[in-house]
Amino acid sequence: MPYKEKKIEKLYYSIGEVAKMFNVNTSLIRFWEKEFDIIKPKKNKKGNRMFTQTDIDNFHIIYHLVKEKGMTLRGAKKKLRENREETEHNFEIIQTLESIKEMLLEVKENI
């Protein structure tokens, strides 16, 4: 059986890395951190924010609600407060469908 290298996942991401993932400014990341209590980065001795994968997943949901669906911050907070599980489930479905769409488009190009 051939050796298969495991994908290395980071434990913490800097604010710059998070901003780059979502193609936004670091100031928006700091603003969303203040606005949404589900974002809780650790801070090192220098005070730099260190985001976990859970924080990244929460950013994905917030980004989806605010930037892709066009909700207001108040609306996004309300939706997360009232229907957190349903919102996460719907977001996971959308991500799955988008990955299927990408795969199908790739298959179409190769035909």
Asked if 41 and 33 touch (Cβ cutoff 8 Å), the reply is yes
Q: Which domain holds residue 63?
A: 13-110
Is residue 24 included in any domain, yes or no?
Answer: yes
7 domain residue, yes or no: no
Q: Is residue 74 part of a domain?
A: yes
pLDDT at residue 83 in the model: 78
Cα separations in angstroms, 51 against 15, 44, 47, 67: 7, 11, 12, 20
Does residue 16 carry a pLDDT above 90? yes
Q: What is the pTM of this model?
A: 0.72
Question: Residue 34 has which token pair?
Answer: 């203040």
33 pLDDT tier (thresholds 50, 70, 90):
very high
User: Among all chains, which residue has been given the structure tokens 């035909």?
Assistant: 111
Residue 41 phi/psi, 5-degree rounding, is: -70, 150
Is the pLDDT confidence value at 24 over 90?
yes
Percentage of the chain modeled with pLDDT above 70? 93
Q: What is the mean pLDDT of residues 88-101?
A: 84
As given in the structure block, the two tokens for residue 85 are 């599980």
Alpha carbon distance 82, 111 (integer Å):
46
When pLDDT is cut at 50, 70 and 90, the band that residue 4 belongs to is low
Give the total number of structural domains in the chain. Answer: 1
Q: Is residue 1 part of a domain?
A: no
Mean pLDDT of the residues in the chain: 87
Q: Rounded distance, CA 35 to CA 85, Å?
A: 19
The CATH number that applies at residue 35 is 1.10.1660.10
Contact 50, 41 (CB under 8 A): yes
